[in-house]
Structure 1
Amino acid sequence: MAQFTIKDLARKLGVSPSTVSRALSDHPDISTATKKRVVEAAEKYNYRPNQLAQSLQKQQSTTIGVIVPEIRHDFFSTAISGIEEVAYQSGYTIMVCQSDETLSREVLNTQALASHRVAGLIIAISTETTEYAHLDSLIRQGIPLVQFDRVVEELSTSKVVIDDYRAAYEAVTHLAESGYRRIGHLAGQEGISLNRNRYLGYRDALRDAGLAFEEKFHIHGGYREEDGRAGAEAYLALDELPEAILAINDPVAVGAFVRFKQAGVRIPDEVALVGFSDTPAAALIEPALTTVFQPAFEMGRTAAKLLLRQFDAEEKSFEPETVILDTELRVRGSSRRKERAA
């Protein structure tokens, strides 16, 4: 006699397989009454969870694919922990891949996860991802997809983001109000919405503070410490330094910090710095880094919840959601008020 599967149990109860899975995992989103019904039915039909049997029955695993630019980045490793927590509570496991900030590897990762018949995919795109045929292909294949942090705005998927424009605007406004006048931006590469929105927030904050936008202080690069060092090197080659810099993220800010220190540039007396993410390194350097806190763990949790919600939805009734989480500017020593000569 064939083993009774989760799909069979769901059909008997008139609910989705993921609801059964979460009820058996005592998930807080499932009502006590539903949990009781599921547990009683599982006992009645002698149901025992079997992931391989589920995979064969559904032609789909109970695995969620996750693609991030790099796992070593504290922001993404923390987000992965949030995804894993929600997935585990709902009877799913996760398979994590990293794109290493390249489009080609991101494409290979999506193909590999699709071939493994993952239940769905959660992704933060690479710095090179300015075209997205590979993600559009997943959607056309019917594979549920949720984007977080770095997203392709044109794709009709659920998304978890922050208000990058407002966060950058508030950071630059803080610098202007602290007495800094020549404010630069170590930006990400052009073409990605996150980079564009942070740049627009930077530019508009300068305008509203009555400060000039100087092209020489706006430097494009990547997301790693070496990009911050390269950006600082470019500033050091100029005839004058910016008085303050908004970096695209904390690793870039820390890389710039290290190179400036090596060159004898005093922070914040000669150059103030502000980052993004609030990684552990931000509080460890001296002076500690002013940075925009992003709720990485909650971003991961929310992305996983949106994916599970999509599993439960009928295909025709599914409507993508965009969740915007709050940020907080955490002011530390790297941007203390500038003292000017009388």
Structure 2
Amino acid sequence: MNPNKVTIHDIAKILNIDSSTVSRALNNSPRVTEKTKKKIIAKANELGYQRNDLASNLRKSKTNTLGVIVPRISRHFFSSAIAGIEEAAFKMGYNVVICQSLEQLEREKSNIKTLLANRVDGVLASISMETENYDHFEGLRKRKIPFVFFDRHCNIPNTSSVLLDDFQAGFDATEHLIFQGYKSIAHFSGPKHLEIYKNRFEGYKAALKKHHIDFIEELIFYSRLMEQDGIDNINKLLSLPIKVDGIFSANDVAAISAMKQLKKKGLRIPIDIGVVGFSNEAISAVIEPSLTTINQPGFEIGTRATELLVSQIMVGNDSFIHEKIIIQGSLIERESSQKIKETIE
């Protein structure tokens, strides 16, 4: 007999007992005597019976499954966040289904359909760079499926989110460059409509203002912050009549490719130009020179987002909680911005 296909009816037939009694025994019902329970459980173990939790949960309109949508699993922050999500979900008795949008709106919409098909109890999402219309998330609300945004969030009323303090992180990154003696600082920003990049940009501007450095619009470069964008931004920057001696990039990917291009152009990092990235990708610590960056506590953000979502599921589908949790990042100082140290040596 195939263990994967053993049913309570098979156990009942072998033991000559009603299948309802077998079901009660396997669910530890007090209506079945201990002697009978032991006999049924022993036979179930002998046959390799596996309880179908999914079918059981579906009957209760609950699957104990959470859906997760991230832009790219390969990014360090998102892989760390997923680790936190899975750890918290496991502790609370939930399984996880993971989808990635690859920064595409249509793929994100398809992710939502996939999760609905899997009958998830709730959704954790970090939206794509293309997402400006949020109707697909409103569709979750109509179906009374709770959702929580993390890292990147939408301007949907009465939704919950777990976010990094992007304004403070942008401020800290820029002020660090200023403290190191850099005075003409460019900023590589992401798409204008995404709140995380707006907030990092506002932090950049606030640091310039605090230290009485003029804000220059021409030193702001908007892109999707991919590898090629870092190269293109450097080419544009070096064609300007303005001499730039510092760069704050809103992610590490663009920062690292920018550094490679700067070196190709014969510029010395950090003596001629200092660079600070964002996200603390694994490669940022091993490139030459190593990249100063903002660390995002992905594991903590994933854990807190999962706890918040499960609390909403437990409250019930008719009630959506509006709660925003802000988590602080931290600056990791490395060689790419240590102008003072290089000058002294």
Give TM class, smaller chain: 0.7 to 0.9
Greater CA deviation, 163-172 or 262-271? Answer: 262-271
Deviation for aligned residue 1:246: 0.7
Task: Write the distance in 2 (CA, Å) between the matches of 1:186 and 1:279.
Answer: 17
The alpha-carbon deviation at position 254 of structure 1 amounts to 1.0
1:262 to 261, 264, 276: 264
Residue pair 1:187, 1:248 contacting (<8 A) in 2 also: yes
* Structure 1 residue matching 2:326: 3-state secondary structure: strand
> Does residue 73 of structure 1 match 2:38?
no
Cα distance, 1:229 vs. partner? Answer: 2.0
Q: 1:68–1:123: 8 Å Cα contact kept in structure 2?
A: yes
1:205 correspondence with 2:207: yes
RMSD between aligned residues: 2.7
User: What pairs with 1:1-342 in structure 2 (closer than 5 Å)?
Assistant: 1=19, 3=23, 50-315=52-317, 318-338=320-340
Q: State how far apart, in whole Å, the 2-side matches of 1:81 and 1:131 are.
A: 28
Write out per-residue CA displacement over residues 124-144 of structure 1, whole angstroms, 9 at most, x where no aligned residue.
Answer: 001111121111111121111
Specify the code of the residue in structure 1 equivalent to 2:209.
R
Which is greater in Rg?
2
Unaligned segments of structure 2, at least 5 residues: 1-18, 31-36, 42-49
Q: Percent identity?
A: 38
1:4 Cα deviation after fit:
5.6
Q: How far apart are residue 54 of structure 1 and its match?
A: 2.7
Moved more, 224-233 or 173-182: 224-233
Q: Distance in 2 between matches of 1:316 and 1:267?
A: 56
Deviations 1:156-208 (A, max 9, x none): 22211111111111111111122111111000011111111111111121111
Distance in 2, Cα, partners of 1:166 & 1:92: 34
TM-superposed deviation, 1:315: 4.2
Aligned to 2:33: none
Residues 88-121 of structure 1, C-alpha deviations (whole Å, 9 max, x = no match): 2222221111111111111111122112211111
What is the TM-score with the length of structure 1 in the denominator? 0.83
Please give the per-residue CA displacement for 1:212-264, whole angstroms capped at 9, x wherever unaligned: 11111100011322222222222133234421111111112112111212222
| Cα 1:219–1:58 shift into 2, 3 Å | same
Aligned-pair CA distance for 1:269? 1.3
Q: Distance in 1 between matches of 2:243 and 2:99?
A: 39
Amino acid at match of 1:266: R
